Amino acid sequence: MHEQGVVTRVVAPGRVEVVMQSSAACDKCGACHRNAEGAVAIEASDATGAKDGDSVEIEISTGGVVAASFVVYLLPVFFLIAGYVFGSTLIGFFHIRISGEAGGIVSALLFLAASFGVVRWYDGAVRRKGTLQARVTRVISGG
């Protein structure tokens, strides 16, 4: 996803805050935040040497956003369903004295809790690699 905006401040060496026009794609992505003035802003890595007031083009990996959305929203649902099937089947296999329904529910909740651990691990891995960070691809015009 490519967007254009204006650098409002240098956050740290190699990191800038870019303010952009809000679009329909921005509403669904959720990568941006509202700055103190209420404008849509995003912190981006910058290897181009952009300064305050520069118009820049930024890029956000859409593949990374889709993968993160899958992990955060769908993986827990899959774990929940798999946990129920696993638990109800396991109870029937070992002839334990509780109903398959109760075993499925308990197992589903345990699998759901495990999925949150997987999501947390994925979040840490993404933060370490920086794959979901926006980055300045070029300076369009100087400020």
The CATH number linked to 35 is 2.40.50
Domain that holds residue 8: 2-61+131-141
**Same-domain status, 6 and 53:** yes
| In a shared domain, residues 68 and 12 | no
Question: Which residue shows structure tokens 């209420």?
Answer: 38
> pTM of the predicted model, to two decimals?
0.61
| Model pLDDT, residue 139 | 83
Q: Pairing state of beta strands 2-12 and 55-59? A: antiparallel
- Distance in angstroms (rounded) separating the CA atoms of residues 16 and 127: 17
Residue 27 has pLDDT above 60, yes or no: no
Beta strands in 25-107 (DSSP E): 33-34, 40-46, 55-59
pLDDT higher than threshold 80 for residue 32: no
Do 136 and 124 share a structural domain?
no
Please check the confidence at residue 86 and state whether its pLDDT lies above 80: yes
Total count of residues recorded for the chain = 143
How many domains, the chain? Answer: 2
Longest alpha-carbon distance in the chain = 74
